[in-house]
Structure formats: C-alpha cells, structure tokens
Amino acid sequence: MEDTRSVASLMDSTSSKIQQLQKAFAELESQRAVTLNLKWKELEEHFHGLERSLKRRFHELEDQEKEYETKTRKAQELLEKKKAAVEAKEKAALERLQKKRDAAMFTINSALDKYNNAPVSKPSVGERWPQNAVEDSSNVFAADSITDDNPDGIVQDVQISPVMGNYEVKAYPQLLKLCGDMDSTGLHKFVSDNRKNLASLKEEIPMAFRAAANPASLVLDSLEGFYPMEAPTADGKKDANLLGMRRTCIMLMECLSILLSGLDRNSLAVVLSQNVKHRAKTIAEGWNPLLESLDMDACNGNSLEAHAFLQLLATFAIVADFKEDELLKLIPMVSRRRQAAELCRSLGLAEKMPGVIEVLVNSGKQIDAVNLAFAFELTEQFSPVSLLKSYLIEARRSSPQGRPGNASPAVQDEFNERELIGLKTVIKCIEEHSLEEQYPVEPLHKRILQLEKAKADKKRATEPMKPQPKRPRGAQPRVTDNNNNINNNKTGYGRVIPERYPQYVYDNRPFLSGPIMAAQPPPPPPPQTYTFNPAPAHGNFYANCYQYQAPPPPPYFH
C-alpha cells in the first residue's frame, strides 16, 4: 500500500514538473535568437503521453489488485466453511461414539448388577442364609462342602450356597428343577422345545444354573454326544438333530460363562475346581484331533465344531494347556459367527488379531475382516472401504461380464446370483458400521435392481405358457334371475329373457308314456308366464283398457 501511495504522489507531481520545465525552456528561448516554440510543443506532447500511459497502467494494476483481494477473501470464506463442516462432523461422530460407550457401559453394569446382587461372604457356624435365596430348590451348590476330600464340589448334606447367591427364574420355572436335578438330557430337550425363545432362555439359564449342585459338571455332562460314537448314516452337517444339539451345547457353555463372570476369584475357584478343569481338558483333547479334518473354505467361517472347542477352552479357563498357533488357525473357521470377537478376547488373542485379519483378507473373507477390524479398533490399519471394494471386485471378477460370450446360461445365472449376494452383503455391512458417507450405497442398489430385473425377465421367458381351459361344446342354458328383476323393477313386471334354444313344444304329447318313458327324467316345468289383470272398476273396457259407455240393458220381461 505504501508503494502504491508513493507512485500516485509522483504521478500527481508530474504536472508541476512539466510547468517548471516550461519556465526553464522559456528562459532559454528568451536568451536565444532562434525561437524554439515548435520543439517545446513536441516535448509537451511527449510528456503528456507518458503521463497518460502511466496513469492507465496504474489503474490496471489497481483493478488487478482488487480482483486478487476478492479471490483471496472468497477462498478464505470457503476454507472457513469447510473447517466448520469438518468440526461439525467430528463433533457428531464423537457424540455417537459417546452414546455407544454409554450404552455399552450401561449394559455391562446392568449385567453385573443382575448376576452379582448377593453377598459372597461365608456365613458363620449355625447361621442360615435368607430363605429367598433357595426358595425354588433344595439342592444348591454349597461352598461349605468344597474341601480336600470333596474337590468336585458335590453337595454333602447341605442345602444353601453362598457362592451362587440369590436366583429367580420367572419365565421358565421348569429350568430350576432340571438344573437342580442335574438333568442334562432333560435340559437339552427343554432348550430344543423352546428354541423359538432363545433370547429369553439365555437370560434365564444363567440364573437357573445357581440351582445346580455343580453347574460346571452339568454343562460338561451336556457335551456328551457332541461327537456321536456310532458312525452317522448321513453327513453331520446335514443332520438337523445333531446341529441343534451342538448349538445347544455352545449356548449352555456361553450361559455358564455369564454366570462365572459375576463371581469373585474365590467363588470362581470353587466352581471351576481342579477336577472340573481336568475333565474339561480331557474332553478338549478328545475333540482336538477331530478338528484337523476341517477345511477352512468348506466351513465358510461358521464351524460349530471349532466354535464349541474354543468356547470350551474359554469357559473352563484351560487355554494355557493348548498351543496358541493351533488356536489361531481355528479363528478363521468361526469368523462369521457373531461371538467371534468376544471369543477371541476370552482366549487372550486380541494382540494377534492383525495377523488373523490378514489371513481373512487373503482368503477372500473381507466382510469378516471388516467386522473384526471394527471390533478390535484396527480400521486405520485395515481400511473398511478398501476391503469392501476389493470384495466386490472379486465378486464381479467371477461374473462373465467382459469375457467372450461362451458361458452357458446356467453358469451365467450362477455368477449373477453370486454378485447379487455379494452386493447385498456389502450393503448390510455398510449399514451396520455406518459407512454411508465413506461408501455411498446408491450405485449398489441400482446394480441390485438391474440384476433382479434381468433375473425376473429370464424367469418369465423360460416359464411355460399356461394352457387355457377349453370351452365346453354345445349350447349352455342361460340362467336369469327373474326374482331380482322383479324386485328392481318398480312397475312389478319381470323381464323374461328367452333361451337360445327354447323347449320343444311337442314334448308334452299324451302318448309319450309307458314303461319306457317312465324311466326318462320328468320334463322341465313350463316357462313362467305373466298375465295382466286390470283393477276392477265400474263400466266396460276395450281390449286396450279404455273405458267406453255401453247402452243400458233392455228390461227384463217375465
């Protein structure tokens, strides 16, 4: 700005300089004999031209400076708006995260209060626990009976358990009796009969375990038959009864874990005694060789056998007895199950999850990798959007688009169905983890509509034409409802519609009788006829109902 002001002051002083030069030139001209008037005019025009050129250039520079300032100001305003938008998004994300944290903490605290609402201290000699702690069962696990002579925790003439605390089962009181009787077979059958209400069962079973003399032994008893001793007649994966029994075993171990999470260290050592752990280890060692025949690709991340084995180790705290590498190989076999993340934490494998996620990505299970990345907060190392896009690329790569048209229709339908399933899976993952801003779903929905429309068109083209019903030959009687017509007609005249083929008028001949004709069905009744009877009145009428005056009758003569 100071340079601009100095240039403007110099330009303003140009006129005064020119006047001073004119005076000096006039003095010089007066001292010379030859006049210099013509030369001065040329000099004056030259200086005025320079002045105009400088002013024009100066104004151009001022306009450019103003335009630059305007652009700078707009850019600063745009940057401020973007900064405010980013701050607003960060604030909204922090608020959502805080809500999720608060909800998680509330759920954890509620569960802890629900399953750990009774004191754990042992009663003194002769002191009895509250009656409401055992009002539904008389065979409760007793901490007083855990001694060196009784390491399994079997009840010995006691009825009260300070370890288990208070319990109450509202929806399914029968669970208390089954657990109190240590009836693992009946418990399996009860869960199978009430499989439609698994959510409420999972809340009630941990409470009902408090009524068992030894809940850990009850769960171990329920694992009998997980691998049938007799050779199955069909594939185990297709046996509905076996699959249901295995799911029940996994659920019972999960419910026992919930019960154990509400106990302190001393009570936990009482329930999970050394004999119980040894028995669980024996079962796990029997299962471990059977897992070697499992194929990771065939399991598709949903292996019940691997899940049950890992849940057995986590529930009964026997992870240290097995190699960590063997456990890590089993994680991809259960990656699709919803309990996978919590199971990995229970097994102490949280630090090894980056390697597990890398294995999932390399094996084409990007969806499971995204879920585990969010569960263990590894989204910076494994970008969810990049993983989802690579999953879609692989799904579309298997489709026949862009290839020579040598694929059979059946193969093309299979590829299209695979791509359709992949698109729906990606959209579900995006919605579950709120990735709509980073990965818009509108193009995916459009592609789904295209595939579904092509599938529907092809199905309509391949469906056989439905044969139309044949019309019966011969004349069909025309049925008319004269009663309705009479009701609808205010005048009371019914509309008689003649039949297409009227009745033969000679069917009522008298000679059509005898034994031969008697076997024939009776003829139909004659058609209904309608007569018009005018109301009685005095006088005579013509046939058209007009009255006429008749002459009086002649007198009667006797």
Confidence of residue 44 (pLDDT cuts 50, 70, 90): confident
Residue range 468-507, pLDDT digits in tens: 666 666 555 555 554 444 444 444 444 544 545 444 444 4
Nearest to 38 by CA among 25, 57, 21, 52: 25
Q: Is 166 exposed, middle or buried (0-12, 13-18, 19+ CB in 10 A)?
A: middle
Distance separating alpha carbons of residues 496 and 543, to the nearest angstrom: 23
Helix ranges (H only) for 116-239 are: 174-180, 184-193, 198-208, 215-222
Distance separating alpha carbons of residues 502 and 509, to the nearest angstrom: 17
Residue 148: the pLDDT is 40
Which residue in the block uniquely carries the two structure tokens 């024996």? 282
Distance separating alpha carbons of residues 382 and 386, to the nearest angstrom: 8
Confidence of residue 394 (pLDDT cuts 50, 70, 90): confident
Structural domains in the chain (count): 1
**Is 80 exceeded by the pLDDT of residue 304?**
yes
For residues 479, 484, 489, 493, the Cα torsion angle rounded to the nearest 10 degrees is 60
Assess if residue 145 is contained within a domain. no
Assess if residue 58 is contained within a domain. yes
Assess if residue 557 is contained within a domain. no
Q: The domain containing residue 94 runs over which residues?
A: 1-113
**Is 50 exceeded by the pLDDT of residue 437?**
yes
Assess if residue 120 is contained within a domain. no
Confidence of residue 267 (pLDDT cuts 50, 70, 90): confident
Is residue 512 within 8 Å of residue 546, measured between CB atoms? no
Residue 477: the pLDDT is 54
Assess if residue 523 is contained within a domain. no
pTM of the model: 0.55
Distances (CA, A) of 357 to 59, 122, 335: 66, 46, 10
Assess if residue 1 is contained within a domain. yes
Distances (CA, A) of 329 to 8, 42, 286, 356: 82, 100, 18, 8
Assess if residue 295 is contained within a domain. no
Residue 417: the pLDDT is 87
Is residue 152 within 8 Å of residue 223, measured between CB atoms? no
Distances (CA, A) of 177 to 130, 192, 329, 459: 20, 17, 40, 55
Assess if residue 262 is contained within a domain. no
Token representation of residue 382: 């494994």
**Is 60 exceeded by the pLDDT of residue 429?**
yes
